[in-house]
Chains A and B, each alone.
Chain A
Amino acid sequence: MAHAYTPGLKVSPKIRLTKKRILPLKGDVVVNVGDTVTSDTVVARTELPGKVTPINAANILGVPAPDLVEHVLKPEGSPIAKGEIYAVAKSFFGLFKTTLKAPEDCHLENISQITGKILLRGKPLPVEVTAYLEGKVTEVYPQEGVAVECWAAFTQGIFGIGGETHGILRMVCKSKDERLSPEKISPEHRGCVLVGGSIVTAAALKKALEHGVRAIVVGGFDDQDLRNFLGYDLGVAITGSENKGITLVVTEGFGEIPMADRTFELLKNHEGHKACVNGATQIRAGVIRPEVVIPRPESELKAGPEVTAGALIIGTPIRVIREPYFGRLGTVSLLPPELTPLESETKARVLKVKFADGIEAVVPRANVEILET
């Protein structure tokens, strides 16, 4: 029944990371296999079809819809320059003319003889995909995108907001349980990725935004502050497209929770190096977690100890992820196989956990997550 547990988040000091960088629709790939790319390198670009503007032409010209096509000067599909007249209706022996002018450069997409409308399609909108990571292009998917690979230290958060960004990693908290308060942020942090401890306060977040900090990685965040920051109550955990000017990665959860040791240590080891951060989260089937990637040469990364695959055995380090012991760390001390009634009278499979301070408690297995060591 190992599948029943929320898997712990990935924290690896050394990993070979491959990211597919794919266009939303077909286009051109502008790099080749083997090219070295940086975060800002454009790897593929395409053009989204422009916006469509329907014009109620038959009514404006005062002609019946079936006759409309006779009054349009250009065939379907032809380009029209801004201000160009593309349809004319004459009345009273040609004395009065009604004309239609293009509001911008566009194409004449369609002339409808039933609704009497003309559809104009505007200029295509360019879309570019950058490499996001720093590394090598290992594969090119023609017309779609590329795969970029690099060696990196990598960690995932549980929840984030904001999209992809990158900056120099700066530790502003000395320990994992220190709060990231406003006075810790200074103008020199412009363009950086800041790592805090247990929580980032609303004031600190505001100050970070003012000073142009690119991203913040922190243990916890208060929901009330999140709501104030976003300006709305986040209903479902699908994020990434917020345009707030800063990316936030929360590694542990809501409230004040010290960042996990391993995460904190990993980030600390790479202070001063460039980190690529993405806050996009999707908690649904096909989960997406926010991430911090620190691309480094392979030689400079030290692999951590072997990660035990998510099995729950006596001695496994775990974290409780629900009240009443929310956020506390400990090790499994007993795994009774039978269903045990809880205080809420729910019957569930439980385990006994021994916390760091020696106290033991019984918690449902569903409410713990394994800490990958």
Chain B
Amino acid sequence: MQTSGYRQAFRILIIVMLWAATPAGSLGVEPEDAGTGLPVIPPMNLVAADTPNDNGNGITLRWDCPPGDDGSGAVISGYVVLRSENSREGYLETAVLGPGTAKYIDNGPAADPVTGEKIHFIRNKPYYYRVAARYASGYRAVSGASGPVQGRAQWFHDGKIPVLTATVLFFALVILYIQKARLQGSELYVRPIAGMKEIDNAIGRATEMGRPILYVLGLGSPEDIATIASYTILARVARKTAEYRTELIVPCNEPIVMTIAQETVRNAYMEAGHPDAYSDDMVFFVTSMQFAYVAAVNGLMLREKTATNCYFGKFYAESLLLSETGNIAGSIQVAGTDEVAQLPFFVTTCDYTLIGEELYAASAYLGRDPLLLGALKAQDFAKALVMILIVAGAVLMSFGIDWLLEIITVRM
């Protein structure tokens, strides 16, 4: 990077010098006939080198344009890149470039002038290069050969060091926190999510009132992340209802979701040591139609007088219809969704709402499994780091200091 900078500077210097040496007004004048005026100079200082950070399919050429090249094509109309497998002969054209060009990455085929056959660039094969400047006057000035040079694949792309650093850092954090979670057990502090903590109380309330608990998995498909997170929470809720011996109602609107939910609940009852209390009727399919489903669930709430309603998963327009009915029925309600648009409705109608990612965090929080906990902690830490970088970068850039940006910029 530095060398190219010098080279650039050098080039500019030469151009400036040339420009200064030219009599005033001479640039605006019709160019002299090349054949009569300036000497014909080939491109200078041609360097062919392997292109860094690639898969070996390229060789980078750099040269200094002859003094006459002002980029307008008036003196020099362009350049021709020549490639050969030996230094002395057999140079074939691989590219024709416009004026003012001083760099080219060669990876294309060369055409055999005789047969017209295309000769492809081959990785790891030594090549020699020359670059010819084509003067408008018809002259062709060919530079000295540069080479041999091979196109090699790199193991390492140094432009992506920031990505590597961030990845390594993140995984180190994950491992560190998992380790910490293992050592400290449940001591590891995770910000308590009020809604999750209150689920126990909500189930307790239902038990004392002798009324059932309703659990809605949302309208998502089985593979939605929100639905997957909801299974974990359902398992927890079911374990508690098993323990408290309280009735649990899980109406589903997707047959596959229903099957998974059934399995989840059955397992939870077994884990709680009350397999006898489980019955398949707890989890059932209602309908796949959005509003028919709402009508059915609302009916359930009012008929069964559910004491506690849980809504976790993907929700759309039905969110308010469901939670408002529950609110009117006097149930304690806990909701969580990653559908940002539905959050305000839940917040106002439910006792506790898990906001966005809290839904995913909830499973780690509930399970207290070191793997999940560690990952959760590490993610939080990484997010905090990103936030700090954004703020710091914004402040620094405002004062025109760009080193931070330089460090974290990823070059392709």
Contacts and interface: CB of A to CB of B under 8 A. Distances in A.
Please say whether the chains A and B touch (CB closer than 8 A): yes
Contacts of B279: 59, 62
B277 interface: yes
Interface string B246-277: 00000000000000000000000000001011
Contacts of A60: 276
Please tell me the size bucket of the interface on B. under 10
Contacts of A113: none
Contacts of A62: 279
A308 interface: no
A116 to B, nearest CB: 10
B159 to A, nearest CB: 62
- The interface centre, meaning the residue of A59, A60, A62 with most chain B CB atoms within 10 A of its CB, is A59
Contacts of B276: 56, 59-60
Nearest to B277: A59
A60 B274 CA distance: 11
Please tell me the size bucket of the interface on A. under 10
Contacts of A56: 274, 276-277
Nearest to A61: B276
B207 to A, nearest CB: 14
A59 B282 CA distance: 13
A56 B277 CA distance: 8
A330 to B, nearest CB: 53
A346 B276 CA distance: 65
A60 B275 CA distance: 9
Contacts of B277: 56, 59
Interface in A59-88: 59-60, 62
- The interface centre, meaning the residue of B274, B276, B277, B279 with most chain A CB atoms within 10 A of its CB, is B276
Nearest to A60: B276
Interface in B67-95: none
Nearest to A56: B276
A62 B276 CA distance: 10
Nearest to B278: A59
B215 to A, nearest CB: 20
Nearest to A115: B245
Contacts of A59: 276-277, 279
A56 B242 CA distance: 13
A62 B278 CA distance: 11
B382 to A, nearest CB: 43
A62 B277 CA distance: 10
Interface in B271-302: 274, 276-277, 279
B388 to A, nearest CB: 47
A183 B254 CA distance: 77
B73 to A, nearest CB: 92
A59 B278 CA distance: 8
A78 B234 CA distance: 42
A60 B277 CA distance: 8
Nearest to B274: A56
A59 B279 CA distance: 8
A56 B279 CA distance: 13
A300 B277 CA distance: 70
Interface in B221-252: none
B280 to A, nearest CB: 11
Interface in B159-176: none
A59 B242 CA distance: 13
Interface string A115-147: 000000000000000000000000000000000
A59 B277 CA distance: 6
A173 to B, nearest CB: 47
Nearest to A62: B279
A301 B117 CA distance: 129
A60 B269 CA distance: 14
Contacts of B274: 56
B47 to A, nearest CB: 79
B270 to A, nearest CB: 14
Nearest to A58: B276
A60 B276 CA distance: 6
A71 to B, nearest CB: 15
Nearest to A59: B276
A56 B276 CA distance: 7
B274 to A, nearest CB: 8
A24 to B, nearest CB: 31
8 contacts: A56-B274, A56-B276, A56-B277, A59-B276, A59-B277, A59-B279, A60-B276, A62-B279
Given A56-B274, A59-B277, A62-B279, 5 more contacts: A56-B276, A56-B277, A59-B276, A59-B279, A60-B276
Q: Which 8 A-B pairs have the closest CB atoms?
A: A56-B276, A59-B276, A60-B276, A59-B277, A56-B277, A59-B279, A56-B274, A62-B279
